[in-house]
Structure 1
Amino acid sequence: MDQAPGSPPESQGAQSVPSCYRHPDRETGITCTRCERPICPECMISASVGFQCPECVRTGSGTGHGPTANQPRTIAGGTIAADSFLVTKILIGINLAVFVLVSALGTRFVNETELVGYAYDRRLGEVVGLADGEWYRLFTSMFVHQEVAHLAFNMLALWFLGRMVEPALGRSRFLALYLVSGLGGDAVVYLLEYPGRGTIGASGAIFGLVGAFAVLARRSNLDMRPVIAIIALNLLITFSRPDSISWEAHVGGLVTGVLLALGLVYGPREHRRTVQAATFAAVLLVIVVTMVLRTMDLTG
């Protein structure tokens, strides 16, 4: 009996390792990050994250066939752009520009933009913070760095992770994951941190990219041991310096990034956009509910 390319021999059984779609006699645990067909080492072609099959590389399509062959898509369904790191560069540029403002305006600028739950500002003579209705601090605090070393470390991490995650997700999805991960980290800080303590930095959003990269690596069947080691090392550093590093932002951003990435890359292809939108909506809803309940606790 003839066997269709890509399907395993009948003797292998339902639970066996699949065979390469181009070489049915070769078992493989690697799949193309675009069309999801199994590919052997001879057929796999390195991509920004994982590997792609020869047909998807040749056509630039998500399936290698049909009218969408000239519309390249990422593993998450985003459009493949000529400059696949543009958003990463823009985010780094914004952080650098804000740092220039910090250098020029000093403490006054930081005090008005940092993440703080509920505090009395003696200079202004009034209560300030998220609990006082200044929710903009959730966003502004993600781009504020007061020290050169803090800025340099975060920007190096953003450049390294952005060059891997942005091409895999596409510009809009990458930006959304970055910002919402930052919000998730800030929400955890607001929930658990002392209400008068200020927090600044892009660490929550960057840890969201760490979580997204872990999901992408797992989705591409890469060796997870180095990824787990990197996450463990970063968490070890985080918890070893609790007085100077906001562990709440790091953990909150990491968890948020993982959840969002799961929705971005594991949704069924035919309902991918619906699943992605629902995932982001659910995470944002949790963030808003957390903010409202914490605010009621602080001001009640």
Structure 2
Amino acid sequence: MDHAAAGPPDARSLPGCYRHPDRETGIRCTRCERPICPDCMVNASVGFHCPDCAAGRTGGRGAAPAASRPRTLAGGAIADDPRLVTKVLIGVNLALFLVQLSVGDRFTNHLEMIGRAYVPLLGSVEGVAEGQWYRLLTAMFLHGSYMHILFNMLSLWWLGGPLEGALGRVRYLALYFCSGLAGSALTYLIAEPNQPSLGASGAIFGLFGATAALVRRLNADMRPVVILLVINLVFTFTWANIAWQAHVGGLVGGAVIGYAMLHAPRERRALVQYGACALVLVAVVALTLVRTAQLT
């Protein structure tokens, strides 16, 4: 009996990737069984997942229940772009710096961190002690020079990306803002009331503190982080015109929140994580009230 030689299977029989129909593939998502090409494959403990199932979205036919969706190290949702929030924060800082350059001091003077001072141009007393608590927040997005914003944004990019990926977007934002507010509150408490300060340094030093907690959580070598932190602290206390209070306040706040987020027990994770954020915010309010009572 004659047998025809078996040829290779017809490539046209392979389905196209559900996101890129023109790319034929023999790989399917192990959850929803949709075909996925190499660019869409996400490594899983068993096989590969499509981007929708990996991110926990319900678009796929077999999207996993919330309890089994992949999570970040701190329990946050995995995002398609793990640096999106960091990019947005950098964009906001750069945009407001351009506004500062175009509008000038009359814009900066309304938003920088200052306790209580007479403003000749306005003919009035301005500051946090006068009820302008918003300055604790707005000062985090202002900068005094090109070098100031350059160093801060480079630090935000280097430190923020890995932390955003490890924490998830919501927890990362909570860390950033709570750390920055802690830095502003300590500056308000200790610095001279008429001494203005501005910059994202408090929040960035909070990222330093959280990075140390992340390295410890991963059982990685702490020495590079410690060396980099020591170098930055040396600059903090030796260079003129640096609000060291913001650096120290942000560092402490970030270390507390970062440790809580990355070491919280799984069964009480959210309670511990957001409880730590609430604790730092309570401290911010307490310090602000104490200093306001001293100045009024």
User: Matches of 2:223 and 2:66 in 1, distance apart?
Assistant: 36
Query: Is residue 251 from structure 1 mapped to residue 253 from structure 2 by the alignment?
Result: no
User: Matches of 1:152 and 1:145 in 2, distance apart?
Assistant: 10
Deviation string for 1:223-254 (max 9, x for gaps)? 1111111111110111111x321111111101
| Aligned twin of 1:158 | 156
| TM-score normalised by structure 2 residue count | 0.78
1:100-179 superposed matches below 5 A: 100-179=98-177
- CA apart distance, 1:55: 3.0
| Aligned twin of 2:237 | 239
Q: Which runs of 5+ in 1 are unaligned?
A: 1-52
- CA apart distance, 1:68: 5.0
User: Matches of 2:67 and 2:76 in 1, distance apart?
Assistant: 14
Larger Rg: 2
Query: Is residue 266 from structure 1 mapped to residue 256 from structure 2 by the alignment?
Result: no
* Fraction of identical pairs, as percent: 50
Provide closer, same or farther for how the CA distance between residues 295 and 85 of structure 1 changes in structure 2, counting only shifts above 3 A: same
Deviation string for 1:35-91 (max 9, x for gaps)? xxxxxxxxxxxxxxxxxx973896769xxxx95575121111100100110000000
SS at match of 2:203: helix
SS at match of 2:71: coil
SS at match of 2:224: helix
CA RMSD, Structure 1 to Structure 2 (Å): 2.0
User: Matches of 1:253 and 1:275 in 2, distance apart?
Assistant: 19
| Aligned twin of 1:44 | none
Query: Is residue 278 from structure 1 mapped to residue 275 from structure 2 by the alignment?
Result: yes
- CA apart distance, 1:263: 1.3
| Aligned twin of 2:84 | 86
Which letter maps to 2:96?
Answer: V
Which letter maps to 1:149?
Answer: M
SS at match of 1:55: coil
- CA apart distance, 1:292: 0.3
User: Matches of 2:97 and 2:144 in 1, distance apart?
Assistant: 7
Which letter maps to 1:94?
Answer: V
SS at match of 1:127: strand
Q: Which runs of 5+ in 2 are unaligned?
A: 1-42, 56-63
SS at match of 2:199: coil
SS at match of 2:92: helix
User: Matches of 2:118 and 2:132 in 1, distance apart?
Assistant: 13
| Aligned twin of 1:218 | 216
| Aligned twin of 2:191 | 193
Deviation string for 1:125-175 (max 9, x for gaps)? 111000000011011100011311111111111011111111000001101
User: Matches of 2:48 and 2:291 in 1, distance apart?
Assistant: 52
Which letter maps to 1:103?
Answer: L
SS at match of 1:221: coil
| Aligned twin of 1:203 | 201
Provide closer, same or farther for how the CA distance between residues 57 and 161 of structure 1 changes in structure 2, counting only shifts above 3 A: farther
Deviation string for 1:10-57 (max 9, x for gaps)? xxxxxxxxxxxxxxxxxxxxxxxxxxxxxxxxxxxxxxxxxxx97389
Provide closer, same or farther for how the CA distance between residues 68 and 187 of structure 1 changes in structure 2, counting only shifts above 3 A: same
| TM-score normalised by structure 1 residue count | 0.77
| Aligned twin of 1:294 | 291
| Aligned twin of 1:55 | 45
Which letter maps to 1:199?
Answer: S
